[in-house]
């Protein structure tokens, strides 16, 4: 694969006119060996609270994690959030559910795959399931083949998402782009310029959504991307840019 040219660093907009959508893992937080091992520091919690205020409440986490998992990470902060790849969305403390649960047969098969491929890990989500193989990259080809087979079996209501060391079977009724569009029709996000920062394949629909609304689509690092138009080079660069947006430096 050809290395892509770097994209420009985005100018920092006025927070009072910004609707801010943030991916979490690989964007705000470094990956750990397992999703549960990720740690949120006090400085990041403070920054997110500051951003939420600076943007007049128009901030949302947009993650593949469930909202319950996001609350576990960021608590006691309880931010607006689109979890499970846009299949559950919390605004005003109310959760909108937009997906269907994974059939039991698929859960059983994924648990069996994790049990027979040492180092891989099954994560049951509300509207899907994920096989993580960060500690067992040698199993990627076998797990990928098996998961494509399972995706064909469960049919068109679900789709297979190949992320960063994760294979996820997820209800096909939403994604990060549909979540951003959903929030952008509602207060306090509507009538503001959307900004979305993400780092992975599953963020592409989010980039496309904000591009269509004249917003800022920002990828983290130089991974190949079809849709992002701006770039911040690292998680540290994202946090510095967000501190400026929050008026903190
Ligand atoms: Mg990410």
Q: Alpha-carbon distance 124 to 134, whole Å?
A: 17
DSSP 162: E
Q: Alpha-carbon distance 99 to 2, whole Å?
A: 36
Per-residue pLDDT tens listing for the chain (249 residues): 455 678 999 999 999 999 999 999 999 999 877 778 888 999 999 999 999 999 999 999 999 999 999 999 999 999 999 999 999 999 988 999 998 999 999 999 999 999 999 999 999 888 999 999 999 999 999 999 999 999 999 988 999 999 889 999 999 989 999 999 999 999 999 999 999 999 998 999 999 999 999 999 999 998 776 799 999 999 999 999 999 999 965
DSSP 29: B
**Ligand 1 centroid to residue 26 C-alpha, Å:** 4
**Ligand 1 centroid to residue 190 C-alpha, Å:** 24
DSSP 80: -
Residue 88 to residues 26, 28, 85, 97, 217, Cα–Cα distance (Å): 21, 20, 8, 5, 22
Residue 235 CB partners (closer than 8 Å, separation 6+)? 26, 27, 28, 29, 30, 220
Residue 119 to residues 104, 129, 142, Cα–Cα distance (Å): 23, 17, 13
**Ligand 1 centroid to residue 48 C-alpha, Å:** 17
Catalytic residues: 23
pLDDT attached to residue 4: 64
The greatest distance separating any two alpha carbons of the chain, rounded to the nearest whole angstrom, comes to 52
Assess contact for 173 and 180: CB atoms under 8 A.
Answer: no
pLDDT attached to residue 222: 81
**Ligand 1 centroid to residue 69 C-alpha, Å:** 14
* SS3 state at 125: strand
pLDDT attached to residue 3: 55
**Ligand 1 centroid to residue 187 C-alpha, Å:** 25
For 170-190, letters b (16+ CB in 10 Å) and e give bbbbbbbbbbbbbbbeeeebe
**Ligand 1 centroid to residue 32 C-alpha, Å:** 12
**Ligand 1 centroid to residue 23 C-alpha, Å:** 5
Structural domains in the chain, CATH included, are 15-97+175-245 (3.40.50.1000), 104-171 (3.30.70.1020)
**Which alpha helices (DSSP H) does 40-175 contain, by range?**
42-54, 67-74, 104-116, 140-154
**Which of 201, 174, 215, 159 is CA-nearest to residue 82?**
174
Q: Alpha-carbon distance 155 to 213, whole Å?
A: 32
**Ligand 1 centroid to residue 30 C-alpha, Å:** 9
* SS3 state at 63: coil
pLDDT attached to residue 1: 46
């Amino acid at each position: 694969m050809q290395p892509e040219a770097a994209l420009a660093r985005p100018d920092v907009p006025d927070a009072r006119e910004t609707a801010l959508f943030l991916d979490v893992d690989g964007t705000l937080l470094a990956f750990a060996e397992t999703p549960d091992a990720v740690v949120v520091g006090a400085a990041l919690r403070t920054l997110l609270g500051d951003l939420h205020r600076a943007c007049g409440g128009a901030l949302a986490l947009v993650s593949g994690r469930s909202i319950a998992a996001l609350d576990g990470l960021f608590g006691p902060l309880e931010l607006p959030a689109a979890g499970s790849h846009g299949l559950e969305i919390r605004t005003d403390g109310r959760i909108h559910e937009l997906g269907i649960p994974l059939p039991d047969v698929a859960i059983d098969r994924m648990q069996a795959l994790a049990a027979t491929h040492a180092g891989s890990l099954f994560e049951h989500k509300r509207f899907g399931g994920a096989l993580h193989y960060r500690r067992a990259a040698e199993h990627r080809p076998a797990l990928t083949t098996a998961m494509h087979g399972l995706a064909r079996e469960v049919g068109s209501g679900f789709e297979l998402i190949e992320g960063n060391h994760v294979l996820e079977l997820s209800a096909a009724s939403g994604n990060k782009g549909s979540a951003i569009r959903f929030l952008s029709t509602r207060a306090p996000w509507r009538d503001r310029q959307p900004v979305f920062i993400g780092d992975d394949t599953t963020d592409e629909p989010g980039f496309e959504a904000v591009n269509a609304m004249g917003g800022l689509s920002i990828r983290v690092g130089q991974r190949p991307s079809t849709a992002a138009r701006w770039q911040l080079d690292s998680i540290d660069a994202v946090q510095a840019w967000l501190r400026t947006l929050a008026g903190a430096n």
